[in-house]
Structure 1
Amino acid sequence: MSYLKFDKSLMINLEQSLPKEILRTNKSGAYHCTTIVDCNTRKQHGLLVIPIPELDSDNHVLLSSLDETVIQHGAPFNLGLHKYQGNCYSPNGHKYIREFTCESVPQTIYRVGGVVLTKEKVFISHENRILIKYTLVDAHSETTLQFRPFLAFRNANALCVENQNIDQSYELAENGISYSLYPGYPRLYMQFSKPVTFTFGPYWNKGIEYIKDQERGYEYKEDLYVPGYFELPIKKGESIIFSAGIGEIKPRSLNALYAREIKNRTFRSSFFNSLKNSAQQFYIKRGKDNYLLAGYPWFKVRARDTFIALPGCTLAIGDKEMFEKIMATAEKAIRHFMKTGEKDTTIQEIDEPDIILWCIWALQQYAKEISLTECSEKYGKLIDEMIDYIMKGHHPNLFLHENGLLYSNGKDQIISWMNSTLYGRPLIPRSGYLVEFNALWYNALKFVASLPVNSEKTGRIEKLEALAEKSGMSFKDMFLNDCGYLFDYVDGNFADWSVRPNMLFALSTEFSPLDKTQRKTALDVVTRELLTPKGIRTLSPKSHGYNPTYAGSQEERDKAYHQGSTRPWLMGAYADAYLKVFGLSGVSFLERMLIGFEEEMSNNCIGTISELFDGNPPFMGRGAISFAPNVGEILRILNLLKKYNHL
């Protein structure tokens, strides 16, 4: 039985099937994303969505969808599905679906009378090409397949309307055609593994609606260009492959290409394997550089998300090589920033004050998973340079004060992961001494002092240890309050009493400025007020401004983004803290907490974890459909628990 399987009763019920999405990527920035019934519900959905650097830094939808029609005895049965005004769905192809599975590749099984047809999709690694394999499993009479491509050729964050600027001319390709609707776009080659007839009959399919965009208060209606249709016969037992890519391909090579790509798949046959598959989808290779995308479908490469997600998305699935490749690219960007103050063109937000601290944390995870010695040999110099960069006050917004603590100005600009804004200003103006900045700083000082590369530098170690001791004492004086938990930030005479998850990093890091009793007391507050089945709330329900539901207009969602909504990635710090306090006795509790995330393998975007969840039941998944820090940290927890279970 497939781990991810959906039967007829669910597939034909659009209330149940439309919220479930499927994502495939090529590990170079391109992707295919839609719902499990192949009805696009977001403007970012599409069969072939690719980056076009010549145009901009965004993704672009070339081929929005492909409507298949089964023809027998002259009667057409259209398998497509689109939403139009008045909650009208057409052509209602979902009623023919008998089953959808997604263990190796997404497979849909259709039954139309005596016809049983399967459809499987594969995205080719590091190539802007998707293959769709159709197999006629059963048929009692002659069968013809017809295909209508819906072309967009637009930015993935925009919408298309009928216009006279398109280029309707097409060029013949072997077993297909190619199109480029607008200047600057590459040609889209649509080809089949066997000869096909193309009938030119252009029209605009008008008024397609995207319900997810409508829910979020965005423009949601689109017109798509349909140039005509392809038609070919298919025999019982025969398979044909459709290819959509930006380069022409030899049709005779499609079967071998499809088979080769299938071999490289991680079967989503378990919770771990589903997350492993999802983690690998965030890998991005551009030339010689390797990156970790923050999430799909609209996130780009972001520095903080990279370092938070990296250990789980690589080391926790046994991919040390990919950790080192992505870190090598990030190291170049960090060194360039420290030397020149210039931002990186690909890795966003590398100039924010906590990025270096998160980078050291990620390298510390490498030391724990691989070895301290190897980490010291490979990254010791970089870590030393980053520590010195902070200690010498070279960062434009990270200041080491006499009390040993780090100070940043966040009144007028975003400086932490709590980055929601309203009218261009921070919604949560965290400024001054931030609790996670200084927890990570204390941990970094102790970690650097422990590196073998510094073992013979007596003066260096003494200086680091002395600074760490001063920082630790000041940390307790600054952040510990009379209620047993930690202030979120302190600036002058103001201390923020809000119960937020940032205190977790003082409880979870390898080196903590707090003793075990202090950590347990604060952890009890987090467990009582912030823990949910889907992660850690961004604000306690008892704190002023609690807003748990991330829904409505952009402004309404911004106001809830960090005011009570839940983040799965914070479970990584929570698990670390819990095991440090309770040891082996805490393993079973954490395993039970992970049940809520395994449920998500069949919800929202199947096989992965959404960006955030509401803070109150039923804890609905919201935001981006797949988020790297969430996937990475849950994988890191699974890896951690596995080690504890083998003690």
Structure 2
Amino acid sequence: MREKIEISGENLRNFQSNIYKEYLLTNGMGSFSSGNPNGNYSRQYHGLFVRSYNSPINRYMALYKLEETFRGRNLGVYKKIEGGKEILKRGDNYLYRFTQAPFPKLEYNIENIALEKEIIMGNMRDAVGVKYYVDSIEEIVVDLFMNFRDSHNLNEELVLDYEIESEDGIYSISLNGEKMYLYTDGNIELVKSEEETENFFGEKENEVTRKGIVYDLAIEDRGEKSLDSCKRVFKIKFKGKNEYNFIASYEKLNSYRDLDLIRYNEIKRLEELLDKENSNVFYNNLRVSADKFITLKKMNEGRTIVAGYPWFNDWGRDTMIAFTGLVLCTERYDEAKLILKTFKEYCDKGMLPNNFPDSEDATPAYNTIDGTLWYFYGVHKYLEYTKDYKFVQEELFETLEDILEWHIKGTRYNIQVDKKDGLLSGGDEKTQLTWMDVKYKGYAVTPRWGKAVEINALWYNALKIFQDICIKFRKDFKYTEYLELFEKNFEKTFLNEEGYLNDYVTPNDINKQIRPNQIFAVSLPYRILSKTTEKKVVDIVKEKLLTPYGLKSLENEDKDFIGEYRGNLYKRDIAYHQGTVWSWLIGHFIDAYTNVYGEINIDKYLKYLKDHYYLDAGLGSISEIFDGEEPYRGKGCYAQAWSIGEVLRVYKEKNIKNK
């Protein structure tokens, strides 16, 4: 039922185009494997085994890569700087096909002999495996490269702190105080430094240390330093069979044969994620992609959602927005409860954490005004999908009530209901509390403080959702006066003379920039605008902000508009919410549009995102953002939870079953 992701021929051997295409495997424990389909690494985050030591945070490069040599041809692909010259190693000249169904597989043809390399990860298995298939019993030599470092950093000077042991013929590498065991049916041996030689031209052969590695995406898109290094630590020789296994595992295994069981179980598990009653192939692919983001929360043995790969951890706002699509639409209701309980446990002063820092003992950051309000939306959707009122009554009711109480009396960052008009206000000109949250060296690029339009749409929904819950549980709803006050003042405050909604209102200013935030007043379950105003909001968002890949964060005609997300951190931060397209917003645009106009051809609005899913950036996923101008290239995280979640949600909720 699942379509196969495939790149072949010259498309695969075009080095430049493939630096923008990336595969991803995850293990449900915060770890992942990622790279380019031609065997290259165009990011510092690419690696055979990027392991999370405290799921889903503290990710380290546990195992950098494996490179093969067959029939005298080295199949490695990389770019490096040496002696002031750029050197490009092109082992992909022998590569004729890349597929991902479900595991990434690179297929080579060397003198009419086929060699296949398949990369494997299993759910809740702290391991990565590589399986080789070859139409010959000739020798394959595989070099194992290490580059142990934090995934966010580089290892330019090649500082490697590890110990190697051998017990009963099984090698292990001690990293970060833990052992990674190496299992293989090949002959594995340590590499000695004297193996490195030079040829007639002074070029290194059999290099042990490789320095000056260049990651193109770091330079081209992110304007970052990009010189890394790695060391060839082991050599594995395979000979005499047609199929071979290699596993690097933090669990002790029986033998290299365990890889076959891991592979079989993972394929079976992923098949069970499909909706057998829905023949829409893209929808079923999305269900499998959703699985990559749901992960163990080691701190409390719960579950959470990774906001995006390759660099994000779990964020409160992102989790609650992605929650419906990734977890409820895929009928993972037990995990839904664990996620809701996980974030409940970290609720403090009526606020959910914005994010969990990349450190085991770090305090969660509570600098969000909307993440907590999206929690009510998540609970509402949970009840809509499960009717499990008992869980909400026993586990969540007190937390929901506590959140409302804190928001009414006031909590961090001046977040408090204005008793004069019932609207929720928060922050100041130096804060970044909404989802448009960039702050660069103390400067909030889009401060959006005071009374922001989507924050108040979410606040209204929080009150209405809690009111419904109180009615169901026959409990007293204490906030009727705030609801009535809000309903009198929302449209009066936000509707401007041009017929659309102001983006935010402060005591001294009204911001009228045309942004997508107003769409939530029409898309969320409880709406407050007149039908005439709803239509005007949807129409202007469609006219000014809709693109084939989602909604722009700012209209083109605005003086602050920036059409390309590229360059150093400052340039990227400035552009992040000033015109950049956000794909997750397409879900709420479709909701709002159908609320106003009735049924639409959803495939028309998702066609380009579908093509992107199969062909560009994160293969089998959807990018976090896109440039605000054509050709709208995918940027940011190549696999984003709420991007997949929202497309999956509208497919499910609009009941799209056609192929």
The structure-2 alpha-carbon separation of the partners of 1:567 and 1:341, relative to structure 1 and needing over 3 Å to count, comes to: closer
Alignment of 1:113-152 (within 5 A): 113-136=111-134, 138-139=135-136, 142-152=137-147
What residue identity is the alignment partner of 1:368?
E
- Tell me the residue number matched to 1:160: 155
**Mapped contact 1:435–1:503 kept (Cα < 8 A):** yes
Q: What is the CA–CA distance in structure 1 between the aligned matches of 2:630 and 2:125, rounded to whole Å? A: 41
Give the structure-2-normalised TM-score: 0.89
The structure-2 alpha-carbon separation of the partners of 1:429 and 1:108, relative to structure 1 and needing over 3 Å to count, comes to: same
Correspondence 1:414 to 2:429:
no
Q: Structure 1, residues 578-627: CA drift from partner, whole Å, max 9, x if none?
A: 1111122xx21x32011011011121010001110011110000011111
Question: How much does 1:176 deviate?
Answer: 4.8
Question: How much does 1:162 deviate?
Answer: 3.7
Question: How much does 1:518 deviate?
Answer: 0.7
**Mapped contact 1:295–1:627 kept (Cα < 8 A):** yes
Q: Structure 1, residues 196-229: CA drift from partner, whole Å, max 9, x if none?
A: 1425223211221111111212111112111241
Identity %: 27
Q: What is the CA–CA distance in structure 2 between the aligned matches of 1:84 and 1:571, rounded to whole Å? A: 40
Alignment of 1:521-560 (within 5 A): 521-560=536-575
- Tell me the residue number matched to 2:309: 296
Number of residue pairs matched by the alignment? 623
RMSD (CA atoms): 2.6
Q: What is the CA–CA distance in structure 1 between the aligned matches of 2:37 and 2:555, rounded to whole Å? A: 35
What residue identity is the alignment partner of 1:285?
L
Q: What is the CA–CA distance in structure 1 between the aligned matches of 2:352 and 2:573, rounded to whole Å? A: 34
What residue identity is the alignment partner of 1:158?
N
What residue identity is the alignment partner of 1:124?
G
- Tell me the residue number matched to 1:365: 381
Q: 3-state SS of the aligned residue for 1:159?
A: coil
Question: How much does 1:150 deviate?
Answer: 1.2
Q: What is the CA–CA distance in structure 2 between the aligned matches of 1:341 and 1:642, rounded to whole Å? A: 33
Q: What is the CA–CA distance in structure 1 between the aligned matches of 2:409 and 2:460, rounded to whole Å? A: 16
**Mapped contact 1:538–1:566 kept (Cα < 8 A):** yes
Alignment of 1:110-509 (within 5 A): 110-136=108-134, 138-139=135-136, 142-162=137-157, 166=160, 170-173=164-167, 176-180=170-174, 184-192=176-184, 194-202=185-193, 203-215=208-220, 216-235=222-241, 238-251=242-255, 252-266=257-271, 270-287=281-298, 288-334=301-347, 336-338=348-350, 348-371=364-387, 373=389, 377=393, 379-395=396-412, 397-402=414-419, 403-451=421-469, 453=471, 456-457=474-475, 460-461=476-477, 463-509=478-524
What residue identity is the alignment partner of 1:596?
Y
Q: What is the CA–CA distance in structure 1 between the aligned matches of 2:133 and 2:371, rounded to whole Å? A: 50
Question: How much does 1:327 deviate?
Answer: 0.9
Q: What is the CA–CA distance in structure 2 between the aligned matches of 1:394 and 1:168, rounded to whole Å? A: 47
Structure 2 residue runs of 5 or longer lacking an equivalent are 194-207, 275-279
The structure-2 alpha-carbon separation of the partners of 1:50 and 1:545, relative to structure 1 and needing over 3 Å to count, comes to: same
Correspondence 1:599 to 2:611:
yes
Q: 3-state SS of the aligned residue for 1:58?
A: strand
Q: What is the CA–CA distance in structure 1 between the aligned matches of 2:162 and 2:104, rounded to whole Å? A: 32
Q: Structure 1, residues 4-28: CA drift from partner, whole Å, max 9, x if none?
A: 1111221111123231100101111
Correspondence 1:12 to 2:13:
yes
Q: What is the CA–CA distance in structure 1 between the aligned matches of 2:25 and 2:551, rounded to whole Å? A: 28
Q: 3-state SS of the aligned residue for 2:414?
A: coil
What residue identity is the alignment partner of 2:438?
S
Q: What is the CA–CA distance in structure 2 between the aligned matches of 1:364 and 1:525, rounded to whole Å? A: 28
Q: What is the CA–CA distance in structure 1 between the aligned matches of 2:403 and 2:573, rounded to whole Å? A: 33
What residue identity is the alignment partner of 1:275?
L
**Mapped contact 2:147–2:160 kept (Cα < 8 A):** no
**Mapped contact 1:117–1:135 kept (Cα < 8 A):** yes
Question: How much does 1:68 deviate?
Answer: 1.0
Q: Structure 1, residues 393-423: CA drift from partner, whole Å, max 9, x if none?
A: 3455311112101111231122111111222
Q: What is the CA–CA distance in structure 1 between the aligned matches of 2:16 and 2:160, rounded to whole Å? A: 36
What residue identity is the alignment partner of 1:63?
L
- Tell me the residue number matched to 1:569: 584
**Mapped contact 1:604–1:610 kept (Cα < 8 A):** yes
Q: What is the CA–CA distance in structure 2 between the aligned matches of 1:618 and 1:642, rounded to whole Å? A: 30
Question: How much does 1:454 deviate?
Answer: 5.3
Structure 1 residue runs of 5 or longer lacking an equivalent are none
Give the structure-1-normalised TM-score: 0.91
- Tell me the residue number matched to 2:203: none
Question: How much does 1:188 deviate?
Answer: 3.1
Alignment of 1:602-641 (within 5 A): 602-641=615-654
Q: Structure 1, residues 10-59: CA drift from partner, whole Å, max 9, x if none?
A: 111112323110010111111101111121111111001112349x9531
Q: 3-state SS of the aligned residue for 1:265?
A: helix
Q: 3-state SS of the aligned residue for 2:346?
A: helix
- Tell me the residue number matched to 2:67: 67
**Mapped contact 1:174–1:250 kept (Cα < 8 A):** no
